[in-house]
Amino acid sequence: MKRFLGAAALALAASATVAAAQSCGGIYTVQRGDSLSLIADRQYKNASTWTEVHRNNLSVIGENPNALRVGMELRLGCIDGLPVGLPGANAPVVAAPAIQTASAAAPSRRKLEQSINLVTAGDFAPFTDQALENEGLITDVVRTAMQSSQSADNYNVHWVNDWSSHLDPLMTNAMMDMAFPWYKPDCAGSPDNYRCTNFHFSDPMFEMLILLFVDKARPIPFAQDSDIEGRTLCRPAGYFTHDLDRADRRWISDGKITLKQPQTVKGCFDMLVSGEVDAVAMNEFTGRAAIKDLGLKDQVEVVQGRPISIEGLHVLVHKDHPQADALVSTINGGLDAIKLSGEYQQVIDRHMSKIWAEF
């Protein structure tokens, strides 16, 4: 009898856990006096996650995080079981489903006859790496989208850890059908850019904030571009610079800023703490990870103004591919399907819970 009661108690506890889990995330209505930091502190118990509130609501808030209006409805993702008690909550995915590393069947009608081959590479945390959970956030999104597409029967993800080879020769010679994840340059301002000229871009698999990281002892404002003119910024060599020199900005071309480009992320933060640069400009995940790894949490902070830019990570298809349009439709259709079903947000929430726990 005691054993039975014990089992019953465990069952009740498990039911209570599931019930509690179902109240995670949801819709938050902006109140008078709110800011993203206040919302993050109240809902996630961590004011630093204001960037996640912003990123998850870019279509509502826009680029300026201070553009909140009373009554605005924000979707708050479920990160490590928070927030709770909001309307429109979804049950979080506690464990990640196992990935399928070879071919993955998609429950769909056959439209593309051949297996679709996608190429990516590692050492791009938290987005792509075979050592990460489900091989990284973007890999997880791409696989989930492909499995939900109504245009393909199967696909394969190939790992070639030479990023420079992906677009040429692998894509140029149709040895691979798609490549991910890639940034989209400022094609409006630089239409002759190699990627803009030769490749189609999917809808963004994920959008991230490119932020300014500064020394707490030497804070700088960033509410408008003129705040940065005359400053010295740092971004490692090999990283894109199109956001610093886009058509409406031209910080580099017109000499409005000085850009330092050491070989490593660490090099940028070393220059920041030594006073050689005013700010480090990079995506928030790489920047926050560096702050933690370098022991700079007490010295370096994120500028709580607007982001430098908002950058999407895309799947690319070569324009000369004989089925280019169908391939773009395949990935975009799958992405639309998982956003509609809620699977997309579940994937994002699962990865964000792990990412923020590490920061």
- Average of per-residue pLDDT across 207-226: 96
Unique residue bearing structure tokens 């439209």: 111
Distance CA 63, CA 95 (A): 32
pLDDT in tens, 51-79: 999 999 999 999 999 899 999 999 999 99
Unique residue bearing structure tokens 């809808």: 203
Q: What is the DSSP letter of 83?
A: S
**What is the per-residue pLDDT for 97?**
62
5: pLDDT strictly greater than 90 = no
**R_g of the chain computed on alpha carbons:** 22
Distance CA 146, CA 328 (A): 11
**What is the per-residue pLDDT for 6?**
44
pLDDT in tens, 279-332: 999 999 999 999 999 999 999 999 988 999 999 999 999 999 999 999 999 999
Q: Are 308 and 212 in contact (CB under 8 A)?
A: yes
- CATH code of the region 2-76: 3.10.350.10
Tokens of 283: 């995506």
Dihedral through CA 144, CA 309, CA 28, CA 94, nearest 10?
30
Closest CA to 268 of 248, 289, 251, 252: 289
Element (H, E) at 28: strand 26-29
Position 26 confidence tier, pLDDT thresholds 50, 70, 90: very high
Q: Judge if pTM exceeds 0.85.
A: yes
Give me the residue spans of the domains in the chain: 2-76, 116-177+321-358, 207-310
Q: Do the domains 116-177+321-358 and 207-310 sit in the same CATH topology, yes or no?
A: yes
β-partners of residue 318 are 199
Position 267 confidence tier, pLDDT thresholds 50, 70, 90: very high
Distance CA 356, CA 77 (A): 12
272: pLDDT strictly greater than 60 = yes
**What is the per-residue pLDDT for 4?**
34
Q: Are 218 and 278 in contact (CB under 8 A)?
A: yes
Q: Does CATH number 3.40.190.10 belong to domain 207-310?
A: yes
Distance CA 126, CA 244 (A): 23
Whole-number mean pLDDT of the chain?
A: 89
- Amino acid identity, residue 6? G
352: pLDDT strictly greater than 80 = yes
Q: What percent of the chain has pLDDT over 70?
A: 87
Position 114 confidence tier, pLDDT thresholds 50, 70, 90: confident
The fold adopted by the segment(s) 116-177+321-358 is D-Maltodextrin-Binding Protein; domain 2 (3.40.190)
DSSP 60-78: HH-S-TT---TT-EEEEP-
